[in-house]
A and B are shown apart, each in its own frame.
Chain A
Amino acid sequence: MADFRQRIAEGVIVGDGAWGSLLAYRGLPPGTPPELWTLQHPEIIGEIARAYLDAGAELITTNTFGASPMRLALHRLEHDFEEINQRGVQIIRDEVGRGAFVSASIGPIGKLLAPLGDADPDEVACGFARQARALIDAGADVVCIETMTDLQEALLAVRAVRSVSARVPIMATMTFDITPRGPFTVMGVSVAQAATALSAAGADVVGANCGVGVDAMIDVANAFLACTTAPIAVQPNAGLPVTRHGKLTYPETPERFAEALAPLALRGVRVLGGCCGTTPAHISVLMTKVMASR
């Protein structure tokens, strides 16, 4: 399989969809950190990876979103840090072989950085570097820093990954709200600020994930297309969830999701995929529509 940078230079790549919401659907009890299932139910992680691979995804995410040492410590799982990250990569690799890129997820720490909050930036940077080291040593093809709202935290993560590896491709995506003045993160970061700073810090791909749904994400994607020449990644939610008999369901169907998202491939977005609520069905239809539009 080609190098990730070479592959996205050739054209759009369709990645996978949600993990957390699929794990919940498979029985992950509310409130249980999803990373625990890497240790307890690796077979389920493998099955989900396989389903995304079969749906056509070329980029499969690891179940390590909350596996930074800071965040694991909140769940008293810090002693399982190495194993959760290493096995997180290995399970996906074992399932997909070289048939897809393994995209190692790094999510936010869930706390505010000082001086607004009490998280020490040096400690946070050190934690991201440790997580990146574990993920890269385990063979990750790409590191995906995602769902960030604080640019400083996102930059700490990008630089931490770069400090561990000069070579590994980095995707860095943030979560934007639509405001009367355009898309901003809740911390007040504009798309242009994010694109410029994340690229300068060493991210190969910049973009947006999560959010409230595919329509809002189109606005965000347009803002990225207008302000950067860097490859762009776009991974929206399937809308905001509603509940049916205690299980969450998401309003945007695979057809509606793919219909709205696929045209971005022609406009230069290089990585398309899904976040919360998207399923292998969403990715399968997206793949079909992207192929058809070529």
Chain B
Amino acid sequence: MILQELHAAVEGGDAIRARSVTATLIEQAGGAGEILNGALLPAMALVGARFRDRDIFLPDVLLAARAMKASLGLLEPLLLRDAVPAAGTVVIGTVRGDLHDIGKNLVSIMLQGAGYRVVDLGSDIEADAFIDAALHAEASVIGMSALLTTTMTGMEAVIQRIVARGLSDQLRTIVGGAPLSANFAREIGADGFAPDAVSAVEQVRALVAR
């Protein structure tokens, strides 16, 4: 019952409520994994799906994400203690010259909400910096974002560097951003294309499973 309360608090973007319900759940000796899988993940999946269908909009998603983070902040030490394994590690960033991070942050949060460890490099990231960070974090997926038609070609540079460094077998790439299309993603050789944050999670899941 109280898991449903947390679900509702996250879905409704109520960070204060999400935090207090999470604290109560922890006091009642709810397992961190159970709270994550029973409330946070399904709530964020629902929020993401409603956003994809434009049933709700970006402000609603950002508020829900904030509520999820409030809850996750309390859960993280427990997830570590209980050794709940991450679903995988993803390095994410906005490509060189592009300082837009709203969409990238959203994907980052949705991935965390889906149980992934996310290394968020921020914006204006050089090709090799993506790759070095992925190697360092032992990530298997690199996620790249771009909002501008004048920066989206930077994604191809990252993919070419992965090939040049002989890491194609080890690193998968996923791209997203307003001016992108599936065609563009295919042509530059990206392994995945995510038109929205829900698809990003689905794509990462498929890439990690490969």
Contacts and interface: CB of A to CB of B under 8 A. Distances in A.
A240 B53 contact: no
Interface stretch (A24-32, A47-55, A280-288): A24-32
Contact of A112 (B62, B149, B156): B62
Interface string A6-24: 0000000000000011011
Given A21-B149, A75-B99, A179-B54, A241 B184 contact: yes
Interface string A182-212: 0011111000000000000000000000000
Contacts of B179: 240-241, 276
Interface in A235-257: 240-244, 246-248
Interface in A139-174: 149
B181 to A, nearest CB: 4
Contact of B188 (A117, A180, A243, A277): A243
B153 A248 contact: yes
B34 interface: no
Q: Main SS of the interface on chain A? A: loop
B57 A187 contact: yes
Interface string B133-155: 00000000000000111111110
A186 B150 contact: no
Given A179-B54, A180-B53, A246 B153 contact: yes
A240 B150 contact: no
A116 B97 contact: no
How many residues of A sit at the interface, in one of the four size bands? Answer: 35 or more
Interface in B137-195: 147-154, 156-157, 179-181, 183-184, 187-188
Contacts of A20: 148-150
B102 to A, nearest CB: 6
A107 to B, nearest CB: 10
A87 B131 CA distance: 39
Contact of B154 (A30, A180, A277): A30
B53, B57, B62, B147 pick with most chain A CB within 10 angstroms: B57
Contacts of A292: none
A243 B184 contact: yes
Nearest to B51: A186
B57 A188 contact: yes
A112 B98 contact: no
B84 interface: no
Interface string A214-248: 00000000000000000000000000111110111
Contact of A23 (B56, B150, B157): B150
Interface in B43-90: 53-54, 56-60, 62-63
Contacts of B60: 188
Contact of A241 (B62, B102, B149): B149
A179 B52 CA distance: 9
A34 B150 contact: yes
Contact of A31 (B98, B156, B188): B98
A79 interface: no
A24 B179 CA distance: 15
B181 A241 contact: yes
A276 to B, nearest CB: 5
A243 B157 CA distance: 13
Contact of B184 (A24, A28, A71, A240): A240
A75 B96 CA distance: 11
A78 B95 CA distance: 21
A153 to B, nearest CB: 12
B97 A33 contact: yes
B100 interface: yes
A177 B52 CA distance: 11
Contact of B150 (A30, A74, A185, A243): A30
Contact of B59 (A31, A33, A187, A241): A187
A291 B70 CA distance: 59
Interface of A: 20-21, 23-24, 28-34, 71, 74-75, 110-112, 116-117, 149, 177, 179-181, 184-188, 240-244, 246-248, 276-277
